[in-house]
Amino acid sequence: MSTVRDDHGLRLAWGWVAHLRAGGTTPWLAWRETGAPGEPPVRAAAHALPGAQQLELLRVLNQRGTPGPVLAGRVLEASAPGRGRPDLELVGLGEPSGFGLPPVDPASLPRTELLRIATSLLADDIVAAGVPDERRRFRRPWRRRYRIVGDPWVAAAVRDDLARRGRPEGDHPAGVTLVLGGDVATMLADVWVTRACSDGVEEWEDFVQAFRRRRHLPPRADLLGQARWWAERIGAERVRVVLDPAQLPRLTGLRRKPAAPPRLSADAAELCRRLVPVLGVLALPHQRAELLRRQVAPRLAALDPVDRGGGRPLGVPERFWPWLERMAVRQRDGLLGDGYAVHGDPGLLLPPPAGTLLGTVPSIDGVFELALRLLIEGPARGGSRGRSGQ
């Protein structure tokens, strides 16, 4: 229900807007009791008062850092994408009229409502920054011929690094296919992260539950299935299963192993997943994936580092571990039974000991905090400028 506003309440609201623009953190209900009234900006009509979601997001940003006048203005003018509630009015501006949604206390809004505004702003920043420019060496005519498949998150990073170093993958009658992998729990997470950064995917636990119900792994986490598919086409003798990254230099003709992909925390991966539909209206599908994987993922990995005890790694909840262990044993036994060349200990396919990754799933509070940090940090630097969708 919309509100029949009284003049004093509206002036108090504009006073609160000015307070927030100046970096204030006083909640709306407290401001109603003790704050000073204000006036709308020149040529601003009464209906131009920002929504409760935008105002509360700016207040929370002020609590976390110094967003500055430019970001503050963008927050107050932003619209919320998706199917959440439209801009909501502040409680206490007057008497409800009986139509529309009821006014709200901004401090009572769920984090998901504020996150909708934040992802809209982040998407604009991401597209404006573009994909980072990367220098690539000329192709080396004497390079070894190979194809990279397997764990999609790892394989994409290896392909990028090898191309930068003048050794891109390519088809050749004498070439080999390198099937990259690791423990099944990590590969399952990597498939979800890859989809979260490209086409979109259901929530993590729903994703795992769907494949447990089908009693098999996602195709891109199924090393045995990939090895068999390629063996039928090029011969088993030209398929190499690589479980130890330290073996890659010898197999690819390099002096050092290719760069590892950025390791995203559970919350960072979930933030990427929530950015996908917003980016979908700003960038083409392949550009959206490049923006998330090569621009956003490294920034999130630096903000919430898994390898230094900062972020929580994405883990398979405990109730799924018996199924996951059965899948891992099937993978290990099948690869050994088929006689493929396995580089690394086949035991590496088995999940880590119980307790290392159990139950580590994204949390909305953690996702929201990361979104705030990205907003305050500002757009990425050094990308190729311009909207990727153009």
Domain boundaries, the chain: 3-109, 146-377
Burial 144-163 (b: 16+ CB within 10 A, else e): eebbbbbbbbbbbbbbbbbe
Average pLDDT over residues 357-368: 82
Q: What pLDDT, on the 0 to 100 scale, is given for residue 309?
A: 62
Average pLDDT over residues 311-323: 89
pTM to 2 decimal places: 0.89
Is the predicted pLDDT of residue 153 greater than 90, yes or no?
A: yes
Is the predicted pLDDT of residue 90 greater than 80, yes or no?
A: yes
Average pLDDT over residues 157-170: 85
Strands 3-5 and 94-96: antiparallel
Q: Can you read off the two tokens belonging to residue 144?
A: 């070894």
Q: What pLDDT, on the 0 to 100 scale, is given for residue 168?
A: 80
- Grade residue 288 by pLDDT with cuts at 50, 70 and 90: very high
Average pLDDT over residues 72-93: 79
User: From CA 288, how far away is CA 216, in angstroms rounded?
Assistant: 29
Average pLDDT over residues 344-353: 86
Q: What pLDDT, on the 0 to 100 scale, is given for residue 360?
A: 79
Q: Of 179, 186, 387, which is closest to residue 283 (Cα–Cα)?
A: 387
Q: Of 99, 123, 242, 234, which is closest to residue 174 (Cα–Cα)?
A: 234
Average pLDDT, the chain: 86
Is the predicted pLDDT of residue 266 greater than 90, yes or no?
A: yes
Q: What pLDDT, on the 0 to 100 scale, is given for residue 359?
A: 53
Q: Can you read off the two tokens belonging to residue 132?
A: 């980072």
User: From CA 382, how far away is CA 130, in angstroms rounded?
Assistant: 8
SS3 168: coil
User: CB 116: neighbour CB atoms within 10 A?
Assistant: 21
- Grade residue 390 by pLDDT with cuts at 50, 70 and 90: very low
- Grade residue 40 by pLDDT with cuts at 50, 70 and 90: confident
Among 85-94, 211-220, 254-263, 319-328, the minimum mean pLDDT is found in: 85-94
Q: What pLDDT, on the 0 to 100 scale, is given for residue 5?
A: 54
Our measurement of the distance from residue 213's CA atom to the centroid of its chain's CA atoms, rounded to an integer in Å, reads 26
